[in-house]
Amino acid sequence: MGGVQEVFDALPGDTRGAQLLRRVLAGTPSGESPLTHAEIVPARDGRTTGWPDWVPEEVRAPLLARGVDRPWGHQAAAAAHAWAGEHVVVSTGTASGKSLAYQLPVLTRLHTDPRATALYLSPTKALGADQLRTVHDLRVEGVRAASYDGDTPIPERDWVRQHANWVFTNPDMLHRGVLPRHGRWTTFLRRLRYVVIDECHTYRGLFGSHVALLMRRLRRVCARYGAHPTFVLASATVSEPAVSASVLTGLDVAEVTEDGSPRGARAVALWEPPLLEEVTGENGAPVRRSAGAETARMLADLVLEGARSLAFVRSRRGAELTALGARRVLAEVDPSLARQVAAYRAGYLPEERRELEQALLTGALRGVATTNALELGVDIAGLDAVVVAGFPGTRASFWQQAGRAGRSGDDALVVLVARDDPLDTYLVHHPQAMLGAPLERCVLDPTNPYVLAPHLACAASEIPLTRDDVAALGGAAALSVVDDLVAEGLLRRRRGGWFWSHPTDRPHAGVDIRGSGGEQVVLVESETGRMLGTVDPGTAPATVHPGAVHLHQGESYVVDTLDLDEGLAHVHAEDPEWTTQARTVIDISVEETEQCAAHGELQVCLGSVEVTEQVVGYLRKLPSGRVLDQTPLDMPARSLRTRAVWYTLSESALLRAGLEPARWPGALHAAEHAAIGLLPLVATCDRWDIGGVSTALHPDTGHPTVFVHDGHPGGAGFADRAHEALREWLTATRAAISDCECPSGCPSCVQSPKCGNGNDPLDKAGAILVLDAVLGRLAED
Ligand SMILES: [Zn+2]
Ligand SMILES: [Zn+2]
């Protein structure tokens, strides 16, 4: 750890962030050295430009009054594109004022052209409400902004349709409420000049693929009314934002990525909790102290230091435990200090949220532990420290959370505490991946036929489809999807195109743009009959089997019965000390190999596969990782047609790598687990969005093979991105395994919480040999 110590000693002692880091480190039990990296991300001076000459005084004055003296460089650059009618995405850091990039052109247009209209889309209601409030407060003459979402009272909806010229809504409402009834929106849509897509990086994976088709439907309906609006998108920092924005909108989009806003210095620390000696987990593996426990202690130290601090924890229960842990430490020092720490969760009323924000801003409250609920649309910034307990899955989310610290130009501390996950292990040992240029691409796939089909049906019911429409909505793949819809009797082919067959019954309500489609399994609380929500039918056998502990919106339930035919799971509220993990038998067959590259004894392929999965039992595990017992289950097999990337190595290549055949299953299995864990480094996905299969001999390839596949029917672009970024991805995978100091595999490297085989067999050293063999062959070419 000498290198880290040097870096740490070199931190300027006079900055607040460095002081706080010293305090946190001083509280570390002796003998532990959890700090893997620390550096000062230097302050950046803002770069302003003059006001664009097309922005009139009536727009400029209220912005000036709100403290916007001049636009930052990126704001002006993006606004200029938008004003010129060029589609643009602005992708800069949190709190860099991306809103002004679209406010300038939209407000100016609405002010100067009384007939123009604009549409604003946000992924969450809270964010949309905040943005709407800002626009209201500016009181620009001629701008009539209003929200139109599920909460808008029916009488008000008429007013919005007829009079508002800037409508704030979300994709769900656009899909269900606006497009199916576009006839009522004729005037608004005919005059539509701008479509703003805020936080567009949240449209990823399956949800992103749905929204991409929704945008094509919107553009088609607008075109019918003669409107061709300009799209302005705002994104967190991701790799190649214009590529993703173009896939999302189906348009050529320019990108603005140079952040011209000022930023205070931040001390960024990467932290890896130590392996505990007294506890062992699955198959005797060592276990690290939990990120939540480590964070609780840090939060207490920060409060003692008088720092206003926010800790992000993955689950609501975790957030509550972290706040509780911090209070316990503080109470020993001074009971009044314990009252300065609280937990915050989704579902608070707006007044409660504002109260909490205020308390934190004034310093009445000093430490808050929260779930990701605070990530979007809540106005807390300028804190002294942010502790992120477990990488939140994407760099965009991490920086969004980190951005709560030091906004006002003061310097601050940001700490990432690794969870027991290979991606976290990689990140705390490879600071460049966090602090350098982003590798992660926002991935979505609007050509997925399972997503395409319902949107083609919706589109046909909105306006009959022409051949050109079909091509514009889904490219070459769409024509065969349309044929299928005709065969199913949903569309009818007539002269002039394809028509929806059921004029009185629209398809929109049956399309869940955030889910997977298909009949959802409904969760019902047995005692009260209350419907709690739904789960994806594909994952139900693994997540809501009888006996499963299921978290729903942060609350814990235990499942009593699951009836897959009825689509019904009965549960009761219970929060036992254990969690459950399903055991599955998985089979994969190659349906079509689309690409296959041979590198000597290595083959790398991409194509479509069929995955058959059967849940055969479950384990009960304590938070320490200890397994209590295993219960068999008899569940039907589920099959999934999706996309996969796979590689094969010849038997002789494995032998030459030093692996005798008995080690192959464990080595390939460990390499597969870690690769699944590291995919989010190059694609915006969760490891729960993907799956994998490894085998020492696969009948379709004839060789030892590792598959990584999309977890949803038809795929969401993850396997394709994995194939494209294979070398970076597997290089990081190899590093994550070798960086973990455990002797033979643990949850921080090759064990997986979703393994259907109980993490057995796993050969950590063997996985490194496999990956070296793969990367060696790739390097030769
Ligand atoms: Zn390990
Ligand atoms: Zn496994």
Alpha carbon distance, N-terminus to C-terminus of the chain:
36
CA of 429 to the centre of ligand 1 (A): 13
Owner of token pair 């997503």: 451
Residue 2 banded pLDDT, cuts 50, 70, 90? very low
Q: Strand pairing partners for 38?
A: 269
d(CA 542, CA 538): 9
Run of H or E residues at 638: strand 638-649
Rounded Cα distance between 141 and 112, Å, is 9
Please provide the average confidence, as pLDDT, over all residues in the chain. 91
Ligand in closest contact with the CA of 750: 1
pLDDT of 432-483, one tens digit each?
A: 998 888 888 889 889 888 899 999 999 999 999 999 999 999 888 899 999 9
Separation of CA 781 and ligand 2 centre (Å): 30
User: Which tens digits make up the pLDDT trace of 132-165?
Assistant: 999 999 999 999 999 999 889 999 999 999 999 9
By CB atoms closer than 10 A (0-12, 13-18, 19+), residue 553 is exposed
Q: What is the pTM of this model?
A: 0.85
Q: Which two tokens stand for residue 539?
A: 């994952």
Distance CA 212, CA 249 (A): 6
Q: Residue 634 C-alpha to ligand 2 middle, in angstroms?
A: 20
Question: Maximum CA pair distance of the chain?
Answer: 81
Question: Which ligand has the shortest distance to the CA of 666?
Answer: 2
The structure tokens 């806003």 sit at 261
Residue 552: what are its φ and ψ, rounded to 5°? -125, 120
**pLDDT greater than 60 at residue 3:** no
Q: What is the mean pLDDT of residues 316-329?
A: 89
Give the number of whichever ligand sits closest to the CA of residue 581.
Answer: 2
Please give the Cα distance from 400 to 606 (Å, whole number).
33
Ligand 1 geometric centre to CA of 749 (Å): 4
State percent of the chain over pLDDT 70: 95
| pLDDT at residue number 4 | 67
Q: What does the pLDDT read at residue 42?
A: 85
Q: Is the CB of residue 168 less than 8 Å from the CB of residue 120?
A: yes
Distance between CA 129 and CA 148 in Å, rounded? 10
Instruction: Give the C-alpha separation, 467 to 449, whole Å.
Output: 17
The bridge status of strand 385-389 relative to strand 309-312 is parallel
Query: Which ligand is closest to the CA of 425, given by its number?
Result: 1
Give 312 Cα–ligand 1 centroid separation in angstroms.
24
The Å distance, Cα 749 to ligand 2 centre, comes to: 12
Q: What DSSP assignment string belongs to 518-549?
A: SPPEEEEETTT--EEEEE-TTTHHHHSSTT-E
Calpha distance 351→291 (Å, rounded)? 31
Residue 307, judged by CB atoms within 10 A of its CB (0-12, 13-18, 19+), counts as buried
Cα 664 to averaged position of ligand 2 atoms, centre (Å): 14
Question: Tell me, what's the pLDDT at 244?
Answer: 95
- pLDDT at 436 (0 to 100): 87
User: Ligand 1 centre and the CA of 764: distance in Å?
Assistant: 8
- Tokens of residue 130, six digits: 């905040």
Three-state DSSP class for residue 195 = strand
What's the gap in Å between 425 CA and the centre of ligand 1? 9
Between CA 86 and CA 55 the distance in angstroms is 17
Ligand nearest to the CA of 671: 2
Count of helix runs (H) and strand runs (E) in the chain: 27, 29
pLDDT confidence tier of residue 375, bands split at 50, 70 and 90: low
Q: What are the CA-CA distances from residue 93 to residues 74, 90, 256, 354 (Å)?
A: 11, 10, 12, 24
Q: Which of 107, 95, 121, 134 is nearest to 52 (CA)?
A: 107
CA distances from 412 to 39, 736, 750 (A): 12, 28, 34
Q: How far apart are CA 659 and CA 667, in angstroms?
A: 9
Determine the distance separating the centroid of ligand 1 and the alpha carbon of 33, expressed in angstroms.
17
DSSP label of 151: T
Q: Which ligand is nearest to the CA of 429?
A: 1
Å from CA of 747 to ligand 1 middle: 6
Average pLDDT over residues 90-97: 87
Other C-beta atoms lying within 10 Å of the C-beta of residue 632: 8
In this predicted structure, what is the pLDDT of residue 590? 97
Secondary element (H or E) of residue 277: strand 275-280
Tell me the per-residue pLDDT of 340-374, one tens digit each, with 9 for 90 and over.
999 886 666 667 777 888 888 888 999 999 887 66
What spacing in Å lies between the alpha carbon of 671 and ligand 1's midpoint?
A: 13
Q: Which ligand is nearest to the CA of 668?
A: 2
d(CA 387, CA 270): 10
Q: Which helix (DSSP H) or strand (DSSP E) does residue 485 occupy?
A: helix 476-487
Q: How far apart are the CA of 282 and the centre of ligand 1, in A?
A: 12
Q: Give me ligand 1 centre to Cα 423, in Å.
A: 12
Read off the pLDDT band of 606 (50, 70, 90). Answer: very high
CA distances from 110 to 144, 193, 218, 238 (A): 9, 9, 20, 31
With contact defined as beta carbons under 8 Å apart, do 82 and 232 qualify? yes
**In which band, very low, low, confident or very high, does the pLDDT at 618 lie, cut at 50, 70 and 90?**
very high
Of residues 516 and 287, more confidence is placed in 287
DSSP calls for 342-358: EEE-TT--HHHHHHHHH
**Banded model confidence at residue 656, pLDDT cuts 50, 70, 90:** very high
Q: For residues 284 and 292, is the Cβ–Cβ distance under 8 A?
A: no
| CA 410–ligand 1 middle distance (angstroms) | 38
Q: Tokens in use for 283?
A: 């198959």
The encoded tokens of residue 292 equal 């939540």
738 CA → ligand 1 middle, Å: 8
CA 685/CA 394 separation, integer angstroms: 7
> Of the spans 75-79, 337-341, 543-547, 548-552, which averages the highest pLDDT?
75-79
- Reference 669, options 745, 728, 600; nearest CA is 745
Q: What percent of the chain has pLDDT over 90?
A: 65
CA distance 525 to 534: 12
